[in-house]
Chain A
């Protein structure tokens, strides 16, 4: 098990390097002249020169590459062009809000999705199953930012139950602020996880050990949760990991809808203001997040599937 863990961790290092290299290629090489890409066609030659000097674009490409890598490894993301703040500080301020949103949304989504899936699987081809199917079809189709906007209009604007913007101060206030955004993401999550739980459970229900469990007289609850769901956890873990990644990407639009701080909002405003260093920092943070979540998924497999521990 320790070896598996080490292998997984060691595997993440080249992945991170590859991701950083791709970001470097995308930002410095693909656009031709990054200075023009960053400042736009209207920039004067003097502005372009100042930008190149500031971003170290006059150095040879290989030196830029290594100083980029070194900067990322030492968490030196440069300074924002708009307000001269260090990008690291901007990220450090915004990151907790995004993490908070993702975690709360995941808890709500999994908390609703798994019971829904169990309900659908245990009532196969009956009304609850059809209802869950309808819910998940809708969940796949409705854009999260639209759902968010509808919730915002209904519950914040018209009924005044929730704040219309900001991230909040202190635990209670923050939870009050995060509730609607998280609910928006959670509804889409629940649709996906519910469908997945149903499929995995139905597959498990066909197995011999479920028949054995029933034959030895285990109560239905125990059969469903102890024997059924426990064995359906493996595909579900993958699904939950995927939906965590989807929540992360969904958070970008949701932060915009609810006008709350976060990495997504930071990135989107940076794009609008062509704030090169912040864009680069935001993209790198998102990429690292994806690698991290994938790594976490691998670790959860160890917990969920004892066979991996033995190997």
Chain B
């Protein structure tokens, strides 16, 4: 980080002692059977998404008029759709979209939201009032509705979907970052840092952000699942991943247009979304329990 200065060794004793969250996450993770299953599902999901071209038995876009609406069989495990495309291959390739959007959007939203929240919380005054008013307003909207409204204006496509999901998540992060910053600002170590004459960016990056990181990271992990769901919903509505590129959401949409043909695309893709979202939710809960015991149930 650029802001590390000659004062860094002075400031380090002022930081709270570091816990070892990773080993604790590992312990909590493997002490519950449900989270072990969740962990395995997430692992499979990630491997499938990364190695999709090697694992998929067919080209996900290859149409064949000879094998339309096939039922599941040895050659097409989940059958084929109305264009004769292999459903399993489409699902395997579709997992890439879910993984990309599921990971990128919460991270981007966390960065933007943290910047907004810290700026509002740390500087206060008119900046805080403007940012808070906007955040409050946007928070009144459910993420999905906000995403639909933004997508309605922007249209679909890869970067737009990233932008839409990110913007939908920013207010939540900004609120948490602002509240945490307000709390941290009252701490003696901030007063000490100000007293020894550290510059504002140094204080923010070395003393404020590390101390508000826990709730932000918790929110980020909890929202991986939401982002995957959101991408699926948008693609289902036709304003996310654009056909013919496969996404779990638009596989269900295609399936719905082919209700009398074959229900298998819907059943398969929906099951995949449910399992992956459920697993990420369970893992997110573990991270929350370890990093932020105060807000856990």
A5-40 vs B, CB cutoff 8 Å, 1 = contact: the mask equals: 000000000010011001000110011000001000
A42-50, A59-67, A146-154: which lies at the B interface? A146-154
| A268→B233 CA distance, assembly (Å) | 12
Residues A149 and B133 in contact, CB atoms below 8 Å apart: no
**What is the chain B residue whose CB lies nearest that of A30?**
B153
| B153, closest chain A residue (CB) | A26
In the assembled complex, the Cα of A8 lies from the Cα of B151 at a distance in Å of 31
Find the B residue at minimum CB distance from A293.
Answer: B140
Task: Enumerate B130-157 residues with CB–CB distance to A below 8 Å.
Answer: 133, 137, 140-142, 144-145, 148-155
User: Which of B148, B273, B277 has the largest number of chain A CB atoms within 10 A?
Assistant: B148
- CB-based contact A283/B152 at 8 Å: yes
A146 contact from B237, B270, B282, Cβ within 8 A: B270
Complexed CA–CA distance, A153 and B260 (Å): 9
Interface size class, chain B: 35 or more
Q: Which of B236, B269, B275 is the one whose CB lies under 8 Å from A253?
A: B236
**Pairwise interchain contact B266-A153, C-beta atoms closer than 8 A:** yes
How many Å lie between the Cα of A69 and that of B185 in the bound state? 41
Judge if B97 is at the interface, Cβ distance under 8 Å: no
A166 in the interface, Cβ–Cβ < 8 Å?
no
Is B50 positioned at the interface, with any CB of A under 8 Å from its CB?
A: no
What distance in Å separates the Cβ of B247 from its nearest Cβ neighbour in chain A?
Answer: 12
Residue ID in chain B nearest A264 by CB atoms = B148
Contact A253 B140 (CB under 8 A): no
Q: Contact at A137–B281, with CB atoms within 8 Å?
A: yes
Contacts of B137 in A (CB 8 A): 15, 18-19, 22
A253 lies within 8 A of B237 (CB): yes
**How many whole Å from A148's CB to the nearest CB in chain B?**
9
Taking CB as reference atom, which chain A residue is nearest B232?
A143
Q: Is A140 an interface residue (CB 8 A)?
A: yes
Q: What is the number of residues of chain A that contact chain B, defined by CB distance less than 8 Å?
A: 49
* Residue contact B270 to A287, C-beta cutoff 8 Å: no
The listed residue (A27, A147, A199, A249) touching B153 by CB distance below 8 A is A27
Q: Which residues of A contact B267 (CB under 8 A)?
A: 150
Chain A residue nearest to B269 (CB atoms) is A146
What 0/1 readout, one digit per residue, does chain A (255-296) give for beta carbons within 8 Å of chain B?
Answer: 011000000100110111000000100110011001100100
Q: Does B252 contact A (CB under 8 A)?
A: yes
A279-B154 Cα distance, complex, nearest whole Å: 11
Q: Give every chain A residue within 8 A of B216 (Cβ-Cβ).
A: none
Q: How far is the CA of A190 from the CA of B236 in the complex (A)?
A: 23
Q: Does A250 contact B (CB under 8 A)?
A: yes
A77 within 8 Å of B (CB atoms): no
CA distance A146 to B255 in the complex (A): 11
Question: Which positions 232-256 of chain A face chain B at CB distance < 8 Å?
Answer: 242, 245-246, 248-250, 252-253, 256
Q: Which residues of B contact A300 (CB under 8 A)?
A: none
Instruction: Report yes or no: B142 in contact with A141, Cβ–Cβ below 8 A.
Output: no
Q: Which residue of B lies closest to A248 (CB)?
A: B145
Residues from chain B with a CB closer than 8 A to the CB of A30 are 153-154
Known: A15-B137, A26-B150, A137-B278. A249 touches B273 (CB 8 A): no
CB contacts (< 8 Å) of A149 on chain B: these are 252, 255-256, 266, 270
Closest to A138 in B: B278
B100 at the interface (CB under 8 A from A): no
Q: Which 6 A-B pairs have the closest CB atoms?
A: A146-B270, A249-B145, A141-B278, A249-B144, A141-B277, A249-B142
Residues in chain A within 8 A of chain B (CB atoms):
15, 18-19, 22, 26-27, 30-31, 37, 137-138, 140-143, 145-147, 149-150, 152-153, 157, 164, 199, 242, 245-246, 248-250, 252-253, 256-257, 264, 267-268, 270-272, 279, 282-283, 286-287, 290-291, 294
Extra contacts, 9 of them, besides A137-B281, A242-B142 (Cβ < 8 A), are: A138-B274, A143-B270, A149-B252, A149-B266, A150-B267, A248-B145, A252-B144, A256-B236, A268-B238
14 cross-chain CB contacts under 8 A: A30-B154, A141-B278, A145-B233, A146-B270, A146-B274, A149-B252, A149-B270, A150-B267, A245-B142, A245-B145, A246-B142, A253-B233, A256-B236, A290-B142
